[in-house]
Chain A
Amino acid sequence: MSHADDHDHDHDHAFSELSDVALRVRALETVLAEKGLIDPAALDVIVDTYETRVGPRNGARVVARAWSDPAFKARLLADGAKAVAELGYGGRGGEHIAVVENTASTHNMVVCTLCSCYPWPVLGLPPVWYKSAPYRSRAVIDPRGVLADFGVTLPEDVEIRVWDSTSEMRYLVLPMRPAGTEGWSEERLADLVTRDSMIGVALATAPGETA
């Protein structure tokens, strides 16, 4: 990675401050490596894992499988981590996973008010808004208002269940399967499953809607 990479994307923020942080991070990594406390190549593996290998496509495949295979869905709801391992997913940040199912009468939404707990093996690293004060403060007291921020309005008689997660148990929402998808392959179904629908701030994309 070149020096210039440190400044990518930073221009929208306080440039000098963030470049200072970037320099300090680089300095710390150098010191840690000189002291034999880290293997920089191992750090590359960590970054590559979460930048290119693990992300919400994993969760989308899990959801598509659950929509297609009732026995898998039953196993998924019984023990999330064990079931997603069938598709090869698991590990750090998802050692124990609970899956909560949306229905016509119940909508689930996941938050971590105390930090940023999130099911890494199926969704990857959380987006900035999930870790931000607006979401963490409001999801538990005003979930309908948060849904409105995402352009989602649910009927008043739909019950909203908010799951305030901790590190030990991470949550994945199983969104409702959109109507008009009968007979679709798992691969095609997975394209309808957005990250936000698996956090519970959106619905799965309807056929014909732009994802």
Chain B
Amino acid sequence: MNGAQDLGGMMGFGPVVAEQNEPVFHGRWESRVLANVIATQALGWWSGDASRFARESLDPRFYLTRSYYEIWFAALEKILDQHRLVASDEIAAGRSLREARKPERVFEAAGAAAALRRGWPSERDTNTQPLFAVGQQVRAKNMHPTTHTRLPRYARGRVGVVETIRGCHVFPDSNAHARGPDPQWVYNVRFTARELWGPNADARHSVSIDAFEPYLEPA
């Protein structure tokens, strides 16, 4: 969706300011938000893509004015409510007020380090062939889904060149909405800055994105 998360090319946010000696977390609550997001996602009832969509579908006015972990927490509350696991009155009360669906397994301390070390790879085997070849010109589609997508607005309608085929990966546009992994080929596509930003752009600047096959058409 064309939400506030799609920031590439926007102007007016000011300079990038790096914090010196920045801690990993600014307060314990940030670390618990991250951990709760990872642990509840591991229940298997929704994907990381669904979590991402929950963040980017927050009100843009909220998204642009809150800190990163406030956004994560608001999205976690939303997704837990959508799945009828935790309601806002329970957070207000600070205790469980009703039973929730029982998980087959929880993310347990005993296996936690090993699970993080394994990760959750998105690449899948496939018997399909990629539609596009390395070196081929492709156009990113002019599309504006109201659902999750990983095609940034600044690339839509623009022509680039396939530089690498990344393999076949779980398709976030489908997976975010519980429509299954629907694996798709992923291509690294390089756009010149002039194609993206016009003739006055720096001739020695390009931007590359990893685009799922359904985002692309021959050019």
Contacts and interface: CB of A to CB of B under 8 A. Distances in A.
Interface of A: 1, 5-10, 13, 18, 21-22, 24-32, 34-39, 41-47, 49-51, 55, 90-96, 98, 111, 113-116, 121, 124-125, 127-129, 131-141, 143-144, 146, 149-150, 156-169, 196, 201
A19 to B, nearest CB: 9
Contacts of A165: 210
Contacts of A144: 202, 205
B145 interface: no
Contact of B38 (A18, A46, A159): A46
Nearest to A155: B204
Interface of B: 5-11, 13-19, 22-29, 31-36, 38-40, 43, 48-49, 52, 55-56, 64, 67-68, 70, 73, 76-77, 80, 85-86, 90-96, 99-100, 102-103, 106-109, 112-113, 115-123, 150, 152, 154, 164, 166-167, 169-170, 172, 186, 188, 190, 193, 196-197, 202, 204-210
Contacts of A95: 119-123
Nearest to B155: A164
Contacts of A90: 117, 119
A34 B9 contact: no
A28 B28 contact: no
8 contacts: A5-B28, A25-B29, A25-B32, A34-B95, A46-B38, A50-B31, A98-B164, A164-B152
